[in-house]
Structure 1
């Protein structure tokens, strides 16, 4: 599928993963892309497919029309917002919201999203496999605490940064659907809760959510 710039964007991604935030942004921007599907955290074939573009063998990975590679979900979202200012999904340099936009995008990526890397294999942090359940519970406790810390410092309007939807809204809405799942997020982050529900209900993403991260029974946890 052709990107609006006339080239082709390839997205290595997976349903119900961090790539969904990137795919949602591309959908809102009207930028078509070629999707290479694969849950790299559980599928060796998917890891093999993405490895030539990203030696970390992770999604999301973007290959741009120029052939350049973008990885790291927050970096991709920030770059897309800056590359397409007409979409209005990222405060521009000089905008008073820019500092908080960058702050919280990086916070979600490093303080919250990064913790999910531990859960499939606790040996990554030196814990034996027998303690996986204990490690996962501790990770979920920390994630909930981090959401609460962020929530206490937010003063949302209709959206997290005011009256316009941004990449931060998409990012929080997607990442908050990972463990420990939304019900705990709602309890930890009451100020942000109405915003993520508004993203869930965004009409322009209704078909997209059904395909890429459906609201199946029990999805809130």
Structure 2
């Protein structure tokens, strides 16, 4: 039987993969703060005035909470996807679901690296709002973000090409562990994760102030 081209991705050691994602996130976050935030005039002014203690504390919290953030995110999405499999009448172990979700997360490192590259080599003197509104290949980039309410930034950034690639990888992961499902894997992802994501974005718009 021919090995699946996805085998190395979805069947990697869970602990090592989790640690690798956390370390990669730490590195990307460090690069963002070093090459983007440090170049923003507002941060430079605060640095000169000695008012940046709160930002250093925030940075420290971001670094140390990386594993907890991913543990919660993977647990939540894996549960939604695992529930979706059962809703469509398919048995799928929670461990395999976790592996699929964790492996699919890799796609979100691409826009972060593109963001670092953009503000490092092209837009070298950004404002804090330009950095906040930037997300490559998202719906927000198709709008004049200066003319829309800030509440729409997050939803419009979330709807992007990399999110679509994430859905594709989730479906491929389900297909990898249960080959007989074939195209029903896409229905499972759409009927569970995607529906949940749309409800979350709607909830965000309602409660945002």
Which category describes the TM-score, using the shorter chain as reference length?
A: 0.3 to 0.5
What TM-score does the superposition give when structure 1 sets the normalisation length? 0.34
Structure number with the higher strand fraction is 1
Structure number with the higher helix fraction is 2
Higher relative contact order (CA 8 A, sep 6+): 2
